[in-house]
Each structure stands twice: as structure tokens, then as C-alpha cells.
């Protein structure tokens, strides 16, 4: 009888530990999900900024090209101005290329965070399954404990009847 009680106590302790683990996993998932959301928003903002910069650089490149064609039609002084405009255009093109690289990096970050979100969802599913198993174990423990109390009550009655 003490063995059943001990088993029931061990089962209760094990169930409490599983419930605590499941709760910790759920809390961790919630905080990681909030962080992932913040990082995703920040990445989207950076992507939008990069797109705006890209558009601005394309406009500057178009302006530089128009200026280049105007400067080519003028004299030697204009040729020097053209060279300066081409240098600016090259800088703009380099910035444009850097912007493309930054966009690719931002997209890679978005993809990475999406995969982390998927992993967190999977972890949450596993935590839910563990929670369900812990509940089942707890219900089994509760049933065993109830039976143990019933047996103790019967034994008390028997002992009482023997003593009386």
C-alpha cells in the first residue's frame, strides 16, 4: 500500500515536472515569437528603406545619364564635367549594387526568421503533445490516488470494526 502511495507521489512529481517543462517551452516560444515578429518588422522596414534608396539611386543615375549626354555635346570644359558626372554615375551604380546586396541580405534574414518561426511552431506542437501526455498521466495519477484513498477508507473501516 505504501508502494502505491509512493508510486502515486512519484507519478505526481513527474507530472508536475512535465507540466513545468511544457509551460517553460510555451513561455519560451511566446517570447521567441514576439522577438521574431519584431525582427521581421525591422527587416521589412530596412527592406523598404533599401527599396526607396534604390529608387532614389535609379533617379540619380537617370539624371546623371541625361547630364552626360548634354555634357558630351559641349566643348572641352564640358568633357571635364562629363567625366565628373560619369564618376558620380559610377558611385551611384556601386551604391545601387550595394543596395541589391543589402536587399539580398535582408531577404535572407527574412527567410531565416521565417524558418525560425516554423521551427518555433513545431516546438509548440511538441510542447502541446507533451502537455497532453502530462495531463493524461495526471488523470491516471488522480484516478490511482482516488483508488488509494478508497482503499485506505476501507482499511480504516475494517480496523475500526476489528477494534470495536
pLDDT in tens, 29-69: 899 899 989 998 989 998 899 899 989 999 998 998 887 77
Taking the whole predicted model, whether its pTM rises above 0.85 is answered as no
Give the CA dihedral 41, 43, 44, 49, nearest 10 degrees. Answer: 130
- Between 72 and 141, the higher pLDDT residue: 141
Return the domain boundaries, the chain. Answer: 24-127
How much is the pLDDT for 144?
Answer: 87
Buried b (16+ CB within 10 A) or exposed e, 132-150: eebeebbeebeebbeeeee
How much is the pLDDT for 76?
Answer: 62
pLDDT in tens, 56-106: 999 998 998 887 777 656 666 766 777 888 999 999 899 889 888 988 898
As given in the structure block, the three cell numbers for residue 84 are: 565628373
Determine the Cα–Cα distance for residues 91 and 45; give it in Å rounded to an integer.
24
Q: Indicate the burial class of 52 (C-beta count within 10 angstroms; 0-12, 13-18, 19 or more).
A: exposed
Amino acid at each position: 500500500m505504501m508502494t502505491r502511495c509512493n508510486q502515486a507521489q512519484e507519478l505526481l512529481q513527474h507530472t508536475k515536472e512535465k507540466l513545468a517543462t511544457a509551460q517553460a517551452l510555451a513561455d519560451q516560444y511566446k517570447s521567441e515569437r514576439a522577438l521574431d515578429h519584431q525582427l521581421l518588422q525591422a527587416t521589412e522596414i530596412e527592406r523598404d528603406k533599401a527599396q526607396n534608396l534604390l529608387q532614389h539611386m535609379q533617379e540619380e543615375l537617370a539624371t546623371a545619364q541625361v547630364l552626360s549626354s548634354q555634357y558630351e555635346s559641349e566643348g572641352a570644359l564640358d568633357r571635364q564635367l562629363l567625366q565628373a558626372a560619369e564618376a558620380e554615375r559610377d558611385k551611384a551604380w556601386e551604391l545601387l549594387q550595394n543596395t541589391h546586396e543589402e536587399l539580398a541580405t535582408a531577404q535572407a534574414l527574412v527567410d531565416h526568421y521565417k524558418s525560425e518561426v516554423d521551427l518555433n511552431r513545431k516546438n509548440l506542437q511538441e510542447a502541446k503533445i507533451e502537455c497532453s501526455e502530462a495531463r493524461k498521466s495526471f488523470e491516471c495519477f488522480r484516478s490511482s490516488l482516488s483508488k488509494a484513498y478508497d482503499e485506505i477508507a476501507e482499511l480504516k473501516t475494517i480496523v475500526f470494526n476489528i477494534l470495536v
